[in-house]
Structure 1
Amino acid sequence: MTRTMKATLLGASALFLATGASAGEVHVLNWKGYGADEPFATKAFEERTGDKVVNDFFNSEQEMLTKLRTNPGLYDVVMINAAFMRQALDESLVQPIDTSKIENYKDLNPEQASSTMLNKDGKTYGVPWTWGLTTIAVNDKAFDTLPTSLKEMWKEEHKGRVTIRDDAVEAIQLGALATGQNINDIKDMAAVEQALSDLLPNVRTFWSSENDWNQMVASNQIDLGTYWSGSAGRAKAQFNLPVSLAVPEEGAVGWLDSFAIPVGSDNVEGAETFINYMISPEFYSEWDQTVGAPVSASQRALAALPEDSFNRKVMGSPEIAERVQFQQPITDAQRESYLQTWQKLKVNAN
């Protein structure tokens, strides 16, 4: 039986108003602990719409794609890194979105909303949600001042006290930045391999989730490592951990996350309303100030933050913007090549 939508958008100040009929469900696929499953958010959405939010999670973009392939019709909303949207489109895993039904869409950063990664043949397949950086985060106990260079991770004094995510693409892009190259146009892969080979002896362990990273800092096992900007913010705001973000002179990897509606969704109206809530100032302000969040793609949501907030003052700085290299899609062949290189490096380091 088709799940029915009960919400009517009320405009800028109010989110929704329940209008009757039977309650439905909105099935959301996302990273765990990434906004959509925050208790305050699911409670607010459910109270205003009557629709229940059912969350499911993935631990990598490849797992996300696999879940879409193997569970057609199960999900109504999926969070997709824009660099992976091409693969979802090539496999017909997501459907066009009628942005006229998403009231807050008009407030999005125009450049991000018009990204060729999220739009194809005049149709929109992804609604920009948040953006952020993969860069250095440090254990404040190990530093009097923030490091200014990626090369800090390679220093002998941090041997056995560095962590990076066990992800081939992120690792290769880290190596590209460290060797002064464009992450989307790597000319000297040998230099990247050598840089990563030199770094691995300093790596205590790899992380795969925010919980991994935060536990290592809480137990003072690491000095620094690669981390996501929003995660670093949450570590400090929500868990009171001694974590600070640094954007080194070599630059940082930028990413853009979006929401899409999978092919076969049984509650498209519910999906549209949920996405509208996710890009609203009401949701974003509470997420950022009580939990910690990446930068909103909504200009109105960002403007609702205090002027001295990190996501306005620091992440909005033109100087920082100049250092960011945003991820572009890579081919399956490139991804496989990166994976083989990364696995070889890890084996040789043991």
Structure 2
Amino acid sequence: MTGISKLALLAAAVMIAQQAVAAEVHVLNWKGYGADEPWAVAAFEKATGNKVVNDFFNSEQEMLTKLRTNPGLYDVVMINAAFNDQATTEGLIQPIDVSGIANYKDLGPEKAQSPLLNHDGKIYGVPWVWGLTSIAVNDKAFDKTPTSIQVMWDEAHKGRVVLRDDALEAIQFGAIATGQDINDIKDMEVVKAKLASLMPQIRTFWGAENDWNQMVAANQIDVGTYWSGSAGRAKKNFKLPVTFVVPEEGAVGWLDAFSIPAGSKNVDGALAFIDYMIDPAFYVEWDNKVGAPVSANVKAVAELPADAFNRAVMGDPEVASRIRFQAPVSDADRERYLQIWQELKVNVQ
């Protein structure tokens, strides 16, 4: 074999190896959150020829850290829209050419055009799903489903109340309980005092969806903060006695979107993955099989049964009027919230 032939074979091998790498779509997401469903991954891989490689985070701060410390590793990242501005400012994500996403046209305009995802005329996030952080109850503990957030403070449930161990979520929850705007808290001392009065009620602080579900399954808790999509999965997928409540005082709304990290090695694969994730066919199957938040794709929601929670309840204008969507939070406020939260937790045994 000549030297030229050897070089040609080597070049071909390198090219094949590069193509194999390019065929991988590295996704950074919450574990157990739709995008890593085995049946969904298998269907996407079969349809596109791309292989999905999942990695996970347990908080938005961990997600940002992974993007900072692994430049070029990820092709797709799921980001709460309230953190999109920070990721954009730090150069962690890149503008998206949505002409390569066929289902983008069916996204609700108020979500697609959100200023949280669009900066300087460029799109940095494709809306995926939205939902609420509110309260969910163990049906076994109530003859009648409560309608007020104040049930958390009811002495009848002392030691059987849970909160997620998240400073921002806790402070915003306290703001709602004191009649304040989660994005413009005027009296933090009132919020702090309200949360301090809740601490004697607390059984524990949860960190993962599975923690919450296991406590309900063991009948250890009566009520706690929870996510709408998670409550739906608990009821549908695990047959747990859980009811999600949108109290009269309101609830925290959040919007999750897919972005493409700076340095992505497979942008085409990333666009295909995002397109699949906002496709009505995937969403309806996800909601039917597992339980999901509300799709940002209006056609997908319209294909749900008329009495489906994500259509009948989350689509109710009266419920919508009580939702306050999260806005970006400054680093200074985030640090302040964390300090308050750490002080409050000290008093929980």
Q: Judge conservation of contact 1:133–1:253 (CA < 8 Å) in 2.
A: yes
In structure 2, relative to structure 1, the CA distance for the partners of 1:29 and 1:3 (3 Å cut) is farther
Please list the CA deviations of residues 83-102 of structure 1 after superposition, one character each: whole Å capped at 9, or x if unmatched: 01111011100000001110
Using the size of structure 2 for normalisation, the TM-score is 0.94
Does residue 88 of structure 2 align to residue 86 of structure 1?
no
Write the distance in 1 (CA, Å) between the matches of 2:17 and 2:240.
43
Q: Judge conservation of contact 2:22–2:266 (CA < 8 Å) in 1.
A: no
**How far does residue 348 in structure 1 lie from its aligned partner after superposition?**
3.6
Segments of 5+ residues of structure 1 without an aligned counterpart are 7-20
Match of 1:55 in 2: 54
Match of 1:179 in 2: 178
Report matched runs for 1:32-71 at 5 Å: 32-71=31-70
Does residue 281 of structure 2 align to residue 244 of structure 1?
no
C-alpha RMSD of the superposition:
1.6
Write the distance in 2 (CA, Å) between the matches of 1:126 and 1:340.
30
Write the distance in 1 (CA, Å) between the matches of 2:29 and 2:110.
24
**How far does residue 5 in structure 1 lie from its aligned partner after superposition?**
12
Q: 2:153 corresponds to which letter in structure 1?
A: W
Larger Rg: 2
Q: Judge conservation of contact 2:182–2:326 (CA < 8 Å) in 1.
A: yes
Write the distance in 1 (CA, Å) between the matches of 2:316 and 2:145.
17
Match of 1:147 in 2: 146
Write the distance in 1 (CA, Å) between the matches of 2:124 and 2:18.
21
SS in 1 for 2:243: strand
Report matched runs for 1:290-309 at 5 Å: 290-309=289-308
Q: 2:125 corresponds to which letter in structure 1?
A: G
Match of 2:7 in 1: none
Q: 2:174 corresponds to which letter in structure 1?
A: G
Match of 1:287 in 2: 286
Does residue 231 of structure 2 align to residue 232 of structure 1?
yes
SS in 2 for 1:169: helix
Q: 2:68 corresponds to which letter in structure 1?
A: R
Write the distance in 1 (CA, Å) between the matches of 2:279 and 2:188.
42
In structure 2, relative to structure 1, the CA distance for the partners of 1:138 and 1:3 (3 Å cut) is farther
Report matched runs for 1:8-157 at 5 Å: 24-157=23-156
Q: Judge conservation of contact 1:5–1:269 (CA < 8 Å) in 2.
A: no
In structure 2, relative to structure 1, the CA distance for the partners of 1:159 and 1:103 (3 Å cut) is same
Give percent identity, aligned residues only: 70
Match of 2:195 in 1: 196
Aligned length: 336
Q: 1:289 corresponds to which letter in structure 2?
A: N
Match of 2:311 in 1: 312
SS in 1 for 2:203: strand
Write the distance in 1 (CA, Å) between the matches of 2:309 and 2:18.
36
**How far does residue 233 in structure 1 lie from its aligned partner after superposition?**
0.2
Does residue 213 of structure 2 align to residue 214 of structure 1?
yes
Write the distance in 2 (CA, Å) between the matches of 1:62 and 1:207.
17
**How far does residue 49 in structure 1 lie from its aligned partner after superposition?**
1.1
Please list the CA deviations of residues 275-328 of structure 1 after superposition, one character each: whole Å capped at 9, or x if unmatched: 000000010000001100000000011111111111000000011001101000
Q: Judge conservation of contact 1:129–1:257 (CA < 8 Å) in 2.
A: yes
Using the size of structure 1 for normalisation, the TM-score is 0.94
SS in 2 for 1:72: coil
In structure 2, relative to structure 1, the CA distance for the partners of 1:63 and 1:2 (3 Å cut) is farther
Write the distance in 2 (CA, Å) between the matches of 1:122 and 1:22.
32
In structure 2, relative to structure 1, the CA distance for the partners of 1:22 and 1:329 (3 Å cut) is closer
Q: 1:251 corresponds to which letter in structure 2?
A: G
- State the 4+ residue runs in structure 1 displaced beyond 3 angstroms: 1-6
Match of 1:270 in 2: 269
Please list the CA deviations of residues 194-220 of structure 1 after superposition, one character each: whole Å capped at 9, or x if unmatched: 010000111100111100000000000
Write the distance in 2 (CA, Å) between the matches of 1:145 and 1:285.
30
SS in 2 for 1:56: strand
Q: 1:300 corresponds to which letter in structure 2?
A: K
**How far does residue 3 in structure 1 lie from its aligned partner after superposition?**
9.4
Match of 2:322 in 1: 323
**How far does residue 2 in structure 1 lie from its aligned partner after superposition?**
8.5
